[in-house]
Amino acid sequence: MRQATPNSGLLRRMIIERPVYSGRARQAEKAPRRELEVRLAGLQQEYAELRTEVFEAAQVHRRLCAPRQVRFGDFEIASEIFAVRHLPGDFFTVTEKSDGVMIALGDICGKGLAASMWMPHMVGLVGARVTVSSRPEAVVAGVNRDVCLLKSFMPLASLFLARLDPGTGVVQYCSAGHPPALLLRASGELELLSEGGLLLGVVAGAAYTSGSFQLGPGDTLLIYSDGITESLNHAGEEFGHRRLEDHLRRAARGAADAALFSVLGAVQDFAAASPTVDDMSLAIIRRDDKRQGG
């Protein structure tokens, strides 16, 4: 005969006293679960719709900006923008006029949706001013006054604006608080372009000056937003201006698009798995080197 274990009496009582749930009780238990499932399905639907809307907004941003690659005579222009949070506050536009090609790279302070919502407005301000003037300092001063009218609402912004004459290679430019553009000569000489004035939106009557240079055969102009140089690696070090200059020198012999992706690749390799801290924009304008058949 099997002997009872010390706890056998307790087990028998637990079995005997186990409550029997009625069908109504089981239905009552299932009700909260069904409600949670309905709520989860609703959240999943909203998330899917939000992703679709963000994707569509990103396409609007792309259409407002210049094509990734465009050519005017001997000059090739390549550009790319990476958003830190779905939609960027940076923009890059190229506008062809009868007296030259207007090039603008802007960076609205902040990141994410707050900055990106102002981007179309800023592109519109620049476009409106470009239609009435081709003088970079006049365009920038006009945009600055427009931004200051909305000072209590609109964030500050930086802007690099230039006019390229494809016939002569002469470039006039104006920088509104933007990181200095890099001009790498075919000879290897590097120049920093910083003529201009304050950030847009600081002082309505701010004065802006322009600089000028000639983009010769084999010369390369690099314009960027500070998200490039401020990219961090795992040790918290910034990519910085020196690395940007070094990688430009290594990549400048090739076509503009090849140089663009070479520099961007260097930035991404440097940052590796570290999170992006700001929108990144990069544009390269290169004149073919006819001496090398480029």
DSSP-based three-state secondary structure for 69: strand
CATH number of the CATH domain containing 249: 3.60.40.10
**Residue 134 near residue 174 (C-beta atoms within 8 A):** no
My answer on whether 147 and 43 are in the same domain is: no
- Boundary of a domain, candidates 12, 42, 64: 64
Residue 181 is given by DSSP the state: E
Per-residue confidence in pLDDT tens, the chain, 294 aa: 444 455 555 445 544 455 555 556 566 566 788 888 778 777 787 767 666 665 565 666 677 778 999 999 999 999 999 887 778 889 999 999 999 999 999 999 987 777 888 999 999 999 999 999 999 999 999 999 999 998 778 899 999 999 999 999 999 999 999 999 999 999 999 999 999 999 999 999 999 999 999 999 999 999 999 999 999 998 999 999 999 999 999 998 889 999 999 999 999 999 987 877 789 999 999 999 875 544
Our separate counts of H helices and E strands in the chain read 8, 12
Kind and range of the H or E element at 223? strand 220-224
My answer on whether 21 and 140 are in the same domain is: no
Which structural domain range is residue 169 located in? 66-292
CB atoms < 10 A from the CB of 236, how many?
7
My answer on whether 125 and 235 are in the same domain is: yes
My answer on whether 139 and 211 are in the same domain is: yes
- Boundary of a domain, candidates 29, 44, 64: 64
Calpha distance 181→241 (Å, rounded): 11
What's the Rg (C-alpha) of the chain? 29
**Residue 237 near residue 118 (C-beta atoms within 8 A):** no
Domain count across the chain: 2
- Boundary of a domain, candidates 64, 90, 118: 64
My answer on whether 134 and 221 are in the same domain is: yes
Calpha distance 281→15 (Å, rounded): 70
